[in-house]
Amino acid sequence: MKTNSSIKISIFSIIGLACVLGIYYIFNHKGVDTRKAKTEISITTNELFKDFDEDKEASFNQYIEKAIEIKGILYQVTQKGDTYSLLLRGNNIDTLVLCEMQKDQASIVKTLTIGDAVKVKGILKGFLMDAILLNCIVLEEVNE
Amino acid sequence: MNKLLLLLVSVYSISFAHAQDGYITRQGEVTFFSYTSVENIQATNNQVLSLFYPSSSRIGVQILMRAFTFKKSLMYEHFNESYIESDLYPKATFEGDIIGFDANQEGSQTRIIKGTFTLRDITKPIEMKATIIKTNGAYTISGELEVLIKDYEIKVPPILSPNIAKNIQVSFKFQYVPNDDQK
């Protein structure tokens, strides 16, 4: 009988601990790691912005909050605090891809040169004048 | 019609002369704060688009709601799915005028900006104090304002009501460059 009680207490303790850890994880989860996210589409800046209008923008709504890969020409690098952003261009300079990089990308970003062909992976957030991606990482295919 | 022109038209009943003296930032910063005794929530968006026309004191802003970043992903989910409903209302916009702005004055000037702010397809008049700094042919505009969540019909479940402030404090900083420099 005493053994049964010990087993029950142990099981309830484990379940209780799992619940506490689960709740802690849910409330403190920092967000996606783009490396682990499945790539939904891989595209170039020229393919993205060719004939870009409201209908084409709407067709990309299915990729919002999903990981996408975009290859373009590095137009500008900006820095705010310890976060870098890459601005990629295609043939049309009016529309860019803004990629706010993950903080761990700083050392890679510093090796890039304006005019490089750069392929990034990030989470698509939507469109203003430009396409906006957050949590971006530089893929290995730089200067390919 | 390209998206820049669409924004220009929305900011302006435009003349081409106005378009030529435009300044732009693609990476303006907007931060909001919700202070309560239960929880403090802060989120920042560093990808805010704004156009500014010194000669006519006009300013336009577009904010992509999903580009706000929070410390915790659960806050981000609540913000976009429950409060803002970003699938239905992905952008917030502001259009307005800087009252008494002197485009020729170098350095800093503090002015009131009056205009309309649209969030969740609800447009309300709004005004705020802002500091405009002109240096080396570029402009920086920064300031603060307060947004009442009831004005924009943001529904907070009763159980979470103590966690969300009724008045949201918003700060912004836009560093503009001549639009032609972006080409």
B87 — pLDDT class (breaks 50, 70, 90): very high
Among A83-97, B12-26, B36-50, the range scoring the smallest mean pLDDT is B12-26
In 3-state terms, what secondary structure has residue A8? helix
Alpha-carbon torsion angle B80, B81, B87, B89, nearest 10: -60
Q: What percent of chain B has pLDDT over 70?
A: 87
pLDDT given for residue A2 in this prediction: 65
pLDDT given for residue A13 in this prediction: 75
Q: What mean pLDDT is reported for chain B?
A: 88
Total domains in chain B come to 1
CATH of residue B70 = 2.40.128.110
Does B80 map to a domain?
yes
pLDDT given for residue B163 in this prediction: 87
For residues B114 and A30, which has the higher predicted lDDT (pLDDT)?
Answer: B114
User: What ipTM is given for this predicted complex?
Assistant: 0.85
Among A18-22, A127-131, B42-46, the range scoring the smallest mean pLDDT is A18-22
As given in the structure block, the two tokens for residue A87 are 């601005």
Q: How many CA atoms lie within 13 A of A32 on its CB side?
A: 22
| Facing A27 at nearest CB: one of B26, B62, B74 | B74
C-alpha–C-alpha distance, residues B132 and B139, integer Å: 7
Does B83 map to a domain?
yes
Which residues in chain B (21-80) have CB-CB distances under 8 A to chain A?
A: 26-27, 29, 46-47, 49, 62, 64, 66-67, 69, 71-74, 76
Tell whether B19 lies on the interface with A, counting CB pairs under 8 A.
no
The pTM of the full predicted model, rounded to 2 decimals, is: 0.84
Q: What is the domain extent for residue B103?
A: 23-182
CB neighbour burial string for A51-78, b if at least 16 within 10 angstroms, e if fewer: ebeeeeeeebeebbbebbbbbbbbbeee
For residues A70 and B6, which has the higher predicted lDDT (pLDDT)?
Answer: A70
Whole-Å CA distances, A102 to A86, B29, B117: 11, 17, 31
